[in-house]
Amino acid sequence: MLAIVRKVHIYAGLLTFAHFIVYGIAGLVATFHSMPVRPKVIRQTRYVEFTAPPSSTDRQVADLVYARLQLPLTRPMPDFALRRDAGQHLLLDFYNVNGIHRVTVLESEGRLKIEEIQNDGWLFLQDIHAATPGDEGAPPLVKLWAWWNEAAMWTLAGFCLSGLWLWLATRPRFVWAWTSLGAGAAALALFWLVFRV
């Protein structure tokens, strides 16, 4: 039994370490990011023909643009993000982990202006580490990464529990180990009782 738990502990530790590398880089990027807003350098601009039906609302136009472009790793535009620029053109920022697809609806010209704003590798890691399975609108690839995040947290729990078990199993008469376990369990129970509402 001790050998099995030790193997579980080692592999859980390796998986946790691999995931913590991403978390560590994301934390360092956030810590040393000097600007209050991210740089929005346009890497590429292209145009697509598009004509909105007469009397369409901004919401309807945003949905049509989303369906027409099918931009990778994006989701439909939320209502709070709908806005217009100084020229009264509808401005749609489709965010994804790689950056932003900024779409300007040029109604008078019958086309869309699409600007690609791409994150660098560091900002990509900062964004991807925050994905959670609870994000219903996330594209499948991002949702897959979110489930990997969730699995990594459970792996961390397994790593901690197997480490605790190994510590206690190899010191059956070590009073300090059992006292620490009892104190931890009591603190957890107290935390649950106080904050369960």
Long-range pairs of 8-14 with CB within 8 A, sequence gap ≥ 24: 8/158, 8/162, 9/159, 9/162, 9/163, 9/166, 12/155, 12/156, 12/158, 12/159, 12/162, 13/159
Give residue for tokens 């609302």: 57
| Residue 11, phi then psi, degrees to nearest 5 | -70, -35
Give the model's confidence band at 63: pLDDT under 50 very low, under 70 low, under 90 confident, else very high.
very high
Taking the C-alpha atoms of residue 33 and residue 27, their distance in angstroms, rounded to an integer, is 10
Asked whether residue 49 is domain-assigned, the answer is yes
Shared domain check, 114 and 57:
yes
Domains contained in the chain, number: 2
Give, in degrees to the nearest 5, the angle at Cα 94 between 89 and 97: 155
Judged by DSSP in three states, 105 sits in: strand
Shared domain check, 151 and 87:
no
The tens digit of pLDDT for each residue in 129-150 reads 666 666 666 677 777 877 887 8
Asked whether residue 124 is domain-assigned, the answer is no
Shared domain check, 59 and 18:
no
Q: What is the pLDDT of residue 52?
A: 86
The DSSP bridge partners found for residue 99 are 96, 118
Share of the chain above pLDDT 70, in %: 81
Q: What is the pLDDT of residue 33?
A: 63
Asked whether residue 27 is domain-assigned, the answer is yes
Asked whether residue 26 is domain-assigned, the answer is yes
Q: Give the domain extent around 28.
A: 2-33+142-195
The yes-or-no verdict on residue 151 having pLDDT over 90 is: no
Shared domain check, 109 and 51:
yes
Out of 68-72, 155-159, 168-172, give the one with best mean pLDDT: 68-72
- Contact partners, residue 127, CB within 8 Å, separation at least 6: 97, 119
Q: What is the average per-residue pLDDT within 3-9?
A: 81
What distances in angstroms separate CA 147 from CA 39, 106, 115, 138, one per listed residue? 29, 39, 31, 12
Shared domain check, 172 and 111:
no
Cα dihedral sign for 152, 155, 157, 159?
A: negative
The yes-or-no verdict on residue 184 having pLDDT over 80 is: no
Shared domain check, 47 and 29:
no
Shared domain check, 161 and 99:
no
